[in-house]
Structure 1
Amino acid sequence: MTTTGEDHATARGGPGWWTRWRSAVLDTGLAAGSAVECGAEGVRFAHDAGIPAAVGVVFGVLAGSALIVRRKWPIAVVLVSIAITPAQMGYLMGIVGLYTLAASELPRRIIGSLAGMSFLGMLIVMFVRVRQDMQRGTWELGDWFVPFASISIAVGMTAPPVLLGMYVGARRRLMESLRERADSLERELQLLAERAEERAEWARGEERTRIAREMHDVVAHRVSLMVVHAAALQAVARKDPEKAVKNAALVGDMGRQALTELREMLGVLRSGDGRDARERAAAVPLVAVGVAAAAAASRAADDEGAGAVPGAGDGPCLSDVDELLGQSAAAGMAVDLSVEGETRSYAAEIEQTAYRVVQEALTNVHKHAAGAKTHVRLAHRVSEIAMQVENEPPPELASASAARLPSGGNGLVGMRERVLALGGVFVSGPTDAGGFRVSAVIPAA
């Protein structure tokens, strides 16, 4: 783990305006050294000015101690060093002050102005001092040495600290920008992780919804017809044994068809079609319940003497609608089919959705309007396919004698989700005559 800029800032703490104790100790030491230097140079200043030496020492100590505030007020420190330059003291304070000023966040014009003032003051003082030393005969050199020495000393006292301070300030700003960038990247990564978790949760929810919808479509219709035939079988078992055998065979066929479709769904879930293993695992309880129910129904039908198992396909399509209506008719429903337009093939998901809409609508008729006459209409249009399932009000006698079938309340919701997922339109509701109508339009592309 790396330390970000925020953690780096909060980890610091020092007295006063210092961010760290180490900085406070360093500045105190520099201020003490500057005070000693200025105090020592104050003796000569007092001698030249004709004042008591104690006054010069006190003045030098006070002036040199100003270096302690270099981090908070670097301009003030540089101005003090410029002010005491004519007294030929404060060289350490001037160097450290210029370095601190150049490393600060102050505008470049202020830094340049103060550095120029310091250079000019140092140049004048050094020029006068070297000239006086040569006049006293201390140095035996030509006149060229005075400007050369004064310029060299002034440049040496101002240029290095300013350049070093600018370098350190630039490096510090670069480090701060890198820390801020690291903080920003860390926040972005955290946000991406949260969004990824949200998307994963959403995908798991969508997968559970999809599996529940598939299970409902596969099981509800078949089992509903099985319950209807079982009720009819119970009614005619003693009166008409031959009809009871036919009903038992139908129950077995439907149970095996439901089991076949469940096995196909299990094969898709187990094949690993790109979905996350955790999402597939979430479907296991739902699938297990459906398989167990269908297997039990199939075994019960086999005991009554069932027919052959239909071949497994890739999924239902519109060509299977006739068989679907035949099963409903065999269960006692009066149903007719009308087809408009030229029959043609569509994409697999479109045909499966259209088939499931008709299947679920017929299942609802078996559940809630047993014995009602039902009309199924399919319309093949240029750019879409439309389907409508409408039932008339159920006869009172048939309604009273119909087997009670439980309803989960998810059939219409599942149909709507399927149709809307393909960009279609789904409408359902009661009719004025007392029946119920389910309509859907799906784009052909």
Structure 2
Amino acid sequence: MTLEKSSAPFTESAEESSSRSVNSAEVSAGDDLRGRVRALFRARPWYAVVVDAVLALGCGLADREARTGFAPGEIYSPLPPSLSGWLTLAVAGLLLVRRRFPVVVAAAVTGGLLLGTGSVLTLSVAYYSLARHGGPVRRIRTVVVTASLGLVTVLAVAVTHLHRLAPRHGLTASYQGVLLLVVALAAVVLPVLAGLRPLGRHPGWWETRRAMLFDVSLVVLFPLANPAVLLVDVVHGGSLGLPAPVVAALAVLGGLTVVLRRRYPAGVAVASIVLLPLVLPPLSALPVSLYTVAKYGRSRRQLLTISGAAAAVLLAWAYLVDLPVVLPMAMFLLVSMIVVPVLLGMYRGTKQSLLVNLRERAERLEREQHLKEAQARMQERARIAREMHDVVSHRVSLMVVHAGALEAGAGGDNEVARKTGALIGQMGRQALNELRDVLNVLRMDHPDEQTPEPSLPTLDDVPTLVEESRSTGARIDLDITGTPRDLDADLGGALYRLVQEGLTNACKHAAGAPVRVEVRHLTDTVRVRVENDAPQGPPGTELPSGGRGLVGLGERVSTLGGSFTSGALPGGGFAIEATVPLAGR
């Protein structure tokens, strides 16, 4: 009975846990799907999404309209015309993911040609994206293989189209060859080359790539918008009686000059004023050129002259076309095409000049601050050098003098005193030489000044250091294993100072205790260890201690990429150890 009662809750809990696991699996699957959808647009700024959407819509509409310009049966398509048009829009929609999946988009657009989509502009954008966003890993190989297959497919489809068009339009063989070459260059070759060599941060005379793309968009806007309206206007007897091709060519030329507006603002404005009678004011580049002159122009006099000429030409145009309401329309055109662009350009130019001045001022103040800090550091280093020279050097010099007197006064009567005086004098002179090297570094006027570097000791000098300490009566065992190798000055000097600090600490705090120094030259590391046994009695001489020796050693070893340990041993002794890797040295 008890088992039945206990087993029932267990069964229910198992069922609940299984249901919860199923629900959690469904939730995780939903989260995974949403994560994949978000990944399509991850790390993409808003303007990139806008550009891709405009490209997809523009290419789809342009390709679909291009198909309607041909008579039925003139172009190859195994599908009905309506279905081909919608398929063209669908293929162009793939440009939304051209940055994330460039190879897939290029392959899909190329395959769409076999179904008669006629995606000419879409094909160019797809192959540019293939070369631009293909990724650094095996990029050249992927681009070459995909572009080669795409070029063969494009030429095959183009030959099929020309085979249908040539009899109806009388296209010769040489003309067909030129068309094939133009199609190959425009659809695949030039987009791939442009994508493989991306624009720099400052392309041409533009400050940024975004500024260049904006100007190119303006160039595309004005030449495409004006001729369509101008041709209708010419048919009805407008545009000063000029032939339609001349008017269209001048309109396109006026639109192309916009690309130079940042480099030659006055010239572009003059061209816009001259071409104003040939174009409709709403489609004129005059506001853009006046805005550019107000922002990038050289002087206010030049801006006033150009603005006055534009106003005169605009009023004359309004009078000649005999508008129903001349005065209100003229005032509206003056305000919208001259006054507003000029004021906006002056505001932007003044703001940009202010920002440039503030940036230069901030940079100048930062440089002055760095110079003041460097000067303060130099003064402090000079003060420290003077103090060290006046105090430490004086005391060590007196120690050397007294050691010499001790050595000379002892003579042959006391051999121990004579040797001790000689050893103290030698060590004092060595300390003075090292102190002089340090003072030379501190007295540098500039951080990059070339001065002779101090002669740093290395691990090869450890035996000499041990012998000097043994001469004081200390019991020191030295154990060097492995094959010594040439080490960097910083590495060898740091390990030498570690042995020196260990021997000094043993002399201070464990006088008379045995000391062991180990140097291990391993395959990829160097290990140095200094340890001493417990002191056998109170120290005989109290020596000053700053308490920063071990901290400084740890910092130096860490800078070299090694590990540093120090601490008391179980038997009452003390040990310090450092291990430094040799990789990359």
Instruction: Tell me the TM-score range normalised by the shorter chain.
Output: 0.3 to 0.5
Higher relative contact order (Cα pairs below 8 Å, separated by 6+ residues): 1
Q: TM-score, normalised by structure 1?
A: 0.47
